Structure 1
Amino acid sequence: MLAGVGGTENVASASHCITRLRLKLKDVSKADKAKIESINGVLSVVEAGGQYQVVIGDEVPVVYDYFTKAAGISGSGEVPPDDDAPKGNLLDRFIELISSIFLPILWPLAGIALLKAFLSMAAQFGWIDTAASTYAILNATADSVFYFLPMFLAITAAKRFKANQFTSLAIAGALVYPTIVALTASADPVTFFGIPVVMMYYTSSVIPIIFAVWIQGHLERILTKALPAMIRNFTVPLITVLVMVPLTLIVVGPITTVVASGISAGVQFLFVHAPWAAGAIVGGLWQVLVIFGLHWGLVPVIINDLGTLGYSLLAGPLPPAVLAQAAAAVAVAIRTKSKARREVALPGAASGFLAGVTEPIIYGVNLPMRRPFYFGLAGGAVGGMIAAIGGSATTTFVVPSLLSLPAYLGQGSFVMQLLGIAAAVTIAFVLTLLFGVTSQNDSPDAGPDEALPVEEAETEEASARALTGITRSIVSPVNGRLIALADVPDKVFASGALGAGVGIVPSDGHFVAPIAGTVVTVFPTGHAYGIKSDDGIDLLVHIGIDTVAMKGDGFTAEVTKGQRVNAGDALATADLAKISEAGFDPTTIVVVTNTKSLGAITAEQPGQVAAGDAVLAVEA
């Protein structure tokens, strides 16, 4: 493809939307359209809006990464500025925020934590002399990332909040500076120009630096606009650290620390006074939280507990919850008739047992088959209850797995933790082996991420649907005028290269889900959404033609990736007037992107439609 567009020297910039690699070429005449369209995986080539657009489909993010690396260029990417990014509800935004800050350091954190766990085990069993210099070096190696955690979070938070990373590091460095740490033990009152300072320990802390960097980002933008260019470069960081370090010590740190301590105290109260209930809830629901990304909201609580208490009871029920899903996947591998599913289940289960990574088996095996996932949750609930009754807790941040079990040696009953794991694994494995794989949710041809629907009390209609398939209706996502796909003013969509579908010229800006399923794609600009139905229909809703160029202006997403929706649920809002003022066509396209793997797809006749009216009939 790079050769086809005239080589690296002819590429000015690269970006991508949900289906297309968008290139700005210095000389379009050097591009060989026929050569590019002949490449396996390229659906079409379009020249529009000053861009050379190579239509690829779902794999475009992967192609974009390889293309920019091969070209040796820095593409503009797909992620717009935060101010233009779609906004969900408050909880969704909080989870996304925590995810974006912790995800870049999660694996270094988890990997180094294993060293910390094994070192702790070696010290407890007397395998290493804790007074020796060898232990001191290994302990520093294992503990530094946790001790200086605010500095690591300063980097990721600065990227998230668009603040200067090195200024953020300077703020974090001041919080963990030895003199500041020593002040926490001072018998004399600590003041700053006469203002009392309530000293806290900021080593290993999480929330104070995140709030500090958030404020820093706003302050830097204000200063950048207000200060003259001739002094801006050095005065912005100077003023920022002079304001933010005292502000964090005087206000931000104490308030956020008290809030975090309050949440931690609530968790501790439940685990102390009703450990069986707390363990059952956390162990039973942890993997559900993982599916929706909600577990990120608990990670700061765990890390805060580790920094303040030295252990986290909240993490005690997690090994049973994780290992139960892995055990269920092993049972599926034994019973399934599908070679493809078995090929995912076995290595996925090994990853779950040894590394605590359950996403492959959840999304590819257990959840599509329903019953194995439910039995895994049941095992996690029972195992989590046993572990919590024994007061099991982790003494360092680890991804729960067999390899990270040494982290649970130092607090509570390790025997009860092992009993909890044994119970969870046994329940999930036995129930799945006996009842989890049936003729209704398994077949020789089933893929790793598909299964026929299972109902606990099947009717004749449900059985017929499971065995023979049905025709599904896809409804209009918006009020407006239905047009044939061939009449959509975008030749790629109109050609059917991306799948069969229809176009709707919207009469208002309120868009709803056209089918029940899971939201698998929410483009950062809020103009395009992918939904996968339970029957395996992959649907794309694309609001407007080339509206990716608006960078989210005028679009608001009402859903997040991974969210379940029903037909008619709010999907997005769009300012049609703003789209038109920007010179773009608001015609919305609804296409079935996996058309080739489905049966007949029939479109309704053009005319006026209301949101919720059937526009496509798909034989699934």
Structure 2
Amino acid sequence: MADDHKHSATAAALLPLLGGAGNIVSVTNCMTRLRLELRDRALVRDGALRALPAVLGVVEDGESYQVVLGPGTVARVAPELERLTAGHGDGAVTAEALAERGAALRAERGARNATPGKLLLRRIAAIFVPLIPALIGCGIVAGLAGLLANLGWLPALAPALGAVASGFMSLIAVFVGYNTAKEFGGTPVLGGAVAAVIVFPGVARVDAFGEELAPGQGGVLGALAAALLATRIEKWCRRRVPEALDVLLTPTLTVLGAGLVTLYGLMFVAGEISTGIGHLADRLLAHGGAAAGFVLGGLFLPLVMLGLHQALIPIHTTLIQHQGYTVLLPILAMAGAGQVGAALAVYVRLSRNGSIRTTIRSALPAGLLGIGEPLIYGVSLPLGRPFVTACVGGAFGGGLVGLLNQLGDKVGSTAIGPSGWALFPLLQGNHGLGRTVVIYGAGLLAGYAAGFAATYFFGFGRGALEELNAAPATETVPEKAA
């Protein structure tokens, strides 16, 4: 009950700083952030909002205003804030002129930031991000089942845990199809129904151009394509089928048309693409592991800043579905290690700046668990150079993990979402759990050390270092100190 009161109090504290209930159009959340659609951005009191103890950072991304609260907390605060804003929609306190002004501001920001490519990536992320909790839960259960099997403990329980872990993955195509249709304006259950064709065991009896299909062939990519096609067919039918026959003909034509195309085309094409992704990832790390890891680990933080990391979600999911784990995520997770090392160096170098040191102390535990937003938006990015040196740390950590992969030690993750220390329960490799954990831990240490060293020696210009250390403890972080 105390926690419930705390989350209610957090929502109540956020509400006036966001411009009141009438200024909030919608409230959603991802794993760490509140995602808010606002009528008038100018009504937000940024300074007071950032000063709230529960707020770890603030991000503006296209049309959404995002408040970083951290995992667990955000899932509990979001419904409380949504409850407080209920009933304060278009006809409440906010005047029409204010709503129009907010719409104009959103359109202006949208024209500036929402490129077609980024919008597409956001829609793809909206399909896969809701699946992450199930991927994490099933991944940890699968790891526990494998551990019990390897140790020979509780032999009767291991198969049950394996079934619990594998059930979701065997039907993930259905969930992808459902979310795809929902995101692109179709009927979700029709998208799921068409995608279900891919995992139906009976497809093994279908002869598609001289080859028998295999259940699951095409995986999540096939499900995505099938549901997109189903949505297009459904919309076409809605425009042309007489209203009296719509309830019968539209779903029938949608399932029939998209289902047949899936069987006699999409499953084969998507299957080839999925296999190609697996081969490419293996070849990339087998033949250029050190260089590939260095580049991937070094560029991941900028990709996150640009929103381009969302393009990797289907790739991770495809690798997990076909190989059991994704070898890319542990390398990309090294970016967080570089961020932690950079923050530690900032803490040491700014020995007289109490404000920044306090921010680092509060954000560091989240950073160690792979939640990078508090350190990124509260420390390294506002300071400028430490963001670049954090990328250097990530590059060295990724390079080490990539090198060891090239030498034959694969390190993968059975789920996407966590990183940092939180990734340890999800690790899987080709040489046993103990060795995999050691290699991943060594990569983290390399990222911490390289990020610290690069930031300590190159993270500040002389003038900026003197200015920041001369700042009183009550000062806020400057916009740019590089």
Residue 275 of structure 1 and its aligned partner are, at CA, apart by 1.0
2:153 counterpart residue number: 128
Distance 1:121 1:176, change over 3 A: same
2:364 counterpart residue number: 349
Q: Name the CA distance, whole Å, in 2 between partners of 1:249 and 1:448.
A: 59
Q: Name the CA distance, whole Å, in 1 between partners of 2:330 and 2:81.
A: 44
Q: Secondary structure at the match of 1:274?
A: helix
Q: Secondary structure at the match of 1:305?
A: helix
Contact 2:401–2:440 at 8 Å: present in 1 too?
A: yes
- Indicate the RMSD between aligned Cα atoms, in angstroms: 3.9
2:466 counterpart residue number: 439
Residue 196 of structure 1 and its aligned partner are, at CA, apart by 4.8
Q: Name the CA distance, whole Å, in 2 between partners of 1:452 and 1:446.
A: 17
Structure 2 residue 192 is the aligned partner of structure 1 residue 173: no
Q: Secondary structure at the match of 2:271?
A: helix
Residue 161 of structure 1 and its aligned partner are, at CA, apart by 0.6
2:424 counterpart residue number: 405
Q: Name the CA distance, whole Å, in 2 between partners of 1:60 and 1:404.
A: 28
Q: Secondary structure at the match of 1:394?
A: strand
Q: Name the CA distance, whole Å, in 2 between partners of 1:176 and 1:153.
A: 12
Contact 1:395–1:407 at 8 Å: present in 2 too?
A: yes
Structure 2 residue 222 is the aligned partner of structure 1 residue 231: no
Q: Name the CA distance, whole Å, in 2 between partners of 1:66 and 1:149.
A: 30
1:105 counterpart residue number: 131
Gaps of 5+ in 1: 1-10, 22-36, 42-57, 80-84, 455-620
Larger Rg: 1
Contact 2:293–2:401 at 8 Å: present in 1 too?
A: yes
Q: Name the CA distance, whole Å, in 1 between partners of 2:353 and 2:39.
A: 31
Q: Name the CA distance, whole Å, in 2 between partners of 1:448 and 1:256.
A: 51
1:393 counterpart residue number: 411
Aligned counterparts, 1:304-319, within 5 A:
304-319=318-333
Aligned counterparts, 1:27-46, within 5 A:
none
Judging by fraction of residues, say which structure has more helix. 2
Aligned counterparts, 1:487-498, within 5 A:
none
Q: Deviations over 1:388-409 (max 9, x none)?
A: 1211321412322213224334
Structure 2 residue 446 is the aligned partner of structure 1 residue 423: yes
Q: Secondary structure at the match of 1:128?
A: coil
Structure 2 residue 207 is the aligned partner of structure 1 residue 191: yes
Residue 213 of structure 1 and its aligned partner are, at CA, apart by 1.4
Distance 1:293 1:72, change over 3 A: closer
Contact 1:325–1:358 at 8 Å: present in 2 too?
A: yes
Residue 177 of structure 1 and its aligned partner are, at CA, apart by 2.2
Distance 1:210 1:421, change over 3 A: same
Tell me the matched-pair count: 394
Q: Name the CA distance, whole Å, in 2 between partners of 1:67 and 1:300.
A: 31
Residue 411 of structure 1 and its aligned partner are, at CA, apart by 2.8
Q: Deviations over 1:189-216 (max 9, x none)?
A: x337xx6565244279221111111111
Aligned counterparts, 1:141-160, within 5 A:
141-160=164-183
Aligned counterparts, 1:152-551, within 5 A:
152-180=175-203, 183=204, 190-191=206-207, 196=210, 199-202=213-216, 205-336=219-350, 337-354=352-369, 356-391=370-405, 392-398=410-416, 399-411=418-430, 414=436, 415-433=438-456, 436=459, 438-440=465-467, 443-444=471-472, 450-454=478-482
Contact 2:294–2:399 at 8 Å: present in 1 too?
A: yes
Contact 2:293–2:331 at 8 Å: present in 1 too?
A: yes
Distance 1:222 1:128, change over 3 A: same
Higher RCO by CA contacts (8 Å cutoff, separation 6 or greater): 2
Q: Name the CA distance, whole Å, in 2 between partners of 1:333 and 1:322.
A: 17
Distance 1:289 1:250, change over 3 A: same
TM-score normalised according to structure 1 size: 0.56
Contact 1:99–1:296 at 8 Å: present in 2 too?
A: yes
Residue 163 of structure 1 and its aligned partner are, at CA, apart by 0.9
Q: Name the CA distance, whole Å, in 2 between partners of 1:242 and 1:217.
A: 13
